[in-house]
Structure 1
Amino acid sequence: MVAAMTLPVDINQLSKGYDRKPVLENISLALPQGSITALLGPNGAGKTTLLGCLLGLLVPDKGRVSLWGESAGDLSALSRSRIGFVPQTLTGLTWFRVGELLDYFAAYRDNPEAAEDKRWADWAGLDRKSRISALSGGERQRLAIVLALRFSPDLLILDEPVASLDPQARHDFIALLHETARQRGATILLSSHILSDLERLCSRFVILSRGRIVTAFEDEDLQRSIRHLAHAPDAALGLSIMAQAADGSVWVKGWTPAHEGLSLERLPGDLESLFLALTR
């Protein structure tokens, strides 16, 4: 009998709140090895809190968060070395020069040169002699990305990683991240409000609203079985309503080739309009 593969991320019935106010309620989410998952949600949905619990920086009120079968709050040194994290902004450590901080972080590894992917440093284009205090917001974000990805982590968690990058840097980042993930088979969880980037990169989408997961679907579902219709269909057609948009149109799932010939008025639809309908 072949043993089941341990999931890189397994979140089970997670709840977390502050001052008796719930922020996350009964979150369950599994990330398979090699998956690239987008975590979507409006401001205040609980995305950053979820990532904090995932990284072991926050203690859940209820439930369990496991990384490779270990509790996120009590990871072994080996498991921690397999994680790369890019925060929304790189704060602190401003007295370092770029090269000093890179060397400082690398010194914690047993063999800092063995697995380094120098493509990230080339992409960032930072002067190693520059003080972090003198870097622009975009340059600091590029540094945070290099710190997280230069040693090819097996699990990569990104919280709004491209918000302060210019369009060219963002485009090149997404392309290189996709190539890196394909080559390494890394598992990626990416939170961003730039939905066009997520559509280019991600194969799975999880939408969080008011502390709960309202839906999760694969990229191929959006192409094959999810449709935007002008009106709610007859229940006998076997289509499930996912969300109703502000204009009264509906998003449905369960679309098959058999529905193509029916008199159902289809509307243009993309990830952004579906997201807005689900979180309105």
Structure 2
Amino acid sequence: MNIRQDVLPVRVTNLTKRFGSFTALDGVSFTVEPGETVALLGRNGAGKSTLIGCLMGFLVPDKGSVDLFGQNVLDLPRDLRAKTGFVPQTMTGFGAFTVGKLIDYIGAFYGRLPPIDPALLRWADLDPKKIVKSLSGGQRQRLAILLAMRHEPDFLVLDEPVASLDPHARRDFMNLLGDYARRTGASVLISSHILSDLERLCSRLLFLRQGCLVLDVPTNVFRATTRWLDHATPHILNDLPLQIIGQRETGLLVHGWSEDVILPEGTTISVPDFEDAFLEITATRAA
């Protein structure tokens, strides 16, 4: 895979998308570096699928831009479009094809291709003679993943890819995805509600709340610097280098903690569970 290291696979700048009076995305900006695996985190309605739609060029922003490989996604030429792969939440269409014919049909759009990765083919475990419309939901999702990864894209986007997979298939796929990213140097952006998978696989975390990107942080930094401060109130942190990213009756969830930070006497420090932290960071805030 020939990846130019001087061109970012993804640059999102001040991205805003509205549907009527509803603002689904509000000034979102971030980049994805070559080889990064990035988690897109947020509750239902936070704007994740809208963001993915803009990333893929399915939706036109009201403001801002999305650049893939240095070019606006709305004007992406065919050779750069062929460097992307997309797995939707649910695969639809192509019901009359056989599995084998559909793989060949989609593959034809990419020109000359290498043989399908044997590990991917074994994992998908699909009968090439089977009609697509006769597949179960889990089989359709494995086919969607196979189609998205078959041409070994440089940038792979996955929108809830494992929601319809059984635990065994989900675990094996997440391992396969990690191996793929390491082997090819591809960049990956994945949205999922299975937080344990994302925490283990992803090197960066993007937290969306009500259409806004509220935290963009490397996973290892998040683990090292996110803490619950019990018996703490916002005003005592005014002179401290801490960002409040969540709050409950008994204390605060903060980002930027280190052992050098001197806290008021009586403050209790604890490491948050990743799921608890997610729930706090992405919680709906009163206007």
Common fold by TM > 0.5: yes
Q: 1:21 to 1:99 in 2, by over 3 A?
A: same
- Gap runs ≥5 in structure 1: none
- Between 1:267-276 and 1:45-54, the stretch displaced more is 267-276
**Residue 150 of structure 1, CA deviation:** 1.8
Give me the whole-angstrom Cα distance separating, in 2, the residues matched to 1:46 and 1:152.
27
Asked whether the equivalents of residues 82 and 153 of structure 1 are also in contact (C-alpha less than 8 Å), the reply is yes
Cross-structure match for 2:280: 277
**Cα distance change on mapping 1:4 and 1:178 into 2, 3 Å:** closer
Partner of 1:250: 252
Residue of structure 2 equivalent to 1:32: 33
TM-score, scaled to structure 1: 0.93
Aligned twin of 1:221: 221
Q: CA deviation at 1:243?
A: 2.5
2:241, 2:230 → 1: CA distance?
14
Give 1:193's aligned amino acid: H
| Cα contact 2:110–2:151 (8 A) shared by 1 | no
Partner of 1:9: 10
Task: Give 4+ residue runs of structure 1 displaced > 6 Å after superposition.
Answer: none
Q: Distance in 1 between matches of 2:228 and 2:210?
A: 24
Equivalences for residues 106-117 of structure 1 within 5 A: 106-112=107-113, 114=114, 116-117=116-117
How many correspondences in the alignment? 277
Q: CA deviation at 1:278?
A: 1.4
Question: Superposition RMSD on alpha carbons, in Å?
Answer: 1.9
Q: CA deviation at 1:279?
A: 1.9
Q: Percent of aligned positions with the same letter in both sequences? A: 44
Cα offsets for 1:171-198 (capped at 9, x unmatched)? 0001111011011111010001110110
Structure 2 runs not aligned, ≥5 long = none
Conserved? CA contact 1:145–1:161, under 8 Å: yes
1:53-85 deviation line (CA, Å, top 9, x unaligned): 111111111111100111101111111110010
Contact 2:232-2:267 at 8 Å conserved across structures: no
Q: What residue identity is the alignment partner of 2:246?
A: Q
CA displacement at 1:229 relative to structure 2: 1.9
- Whether 1:99 aligns to 2:100 is yes
Whether 1:240 and 2:242 are equivalent positions in the alignment is yes
Cα distance between partner residues in 1 of 2:193 and 2:158: 12
1:76 to 2:80 alignment: no
**Most deviating of 223-232 and 78-87:** 223-232
After TM superposition, the score normalised by the length of structure 2 is 0.91
Whole-angstrom CA distance in 2 between matches of 1:267 and 1:137: 41
Map of 1:19-168 to 2, 5 A cutoff?
19-112=20-113, 114=114, 116-168=116-168
Supply the AA of the counterpart residue of 2:228: H
Residue aligned with 1:232, SS: coil
Question: Is contact 1:240–1:254 with CA below 8 Å preserved after alignment?
Answer: yes
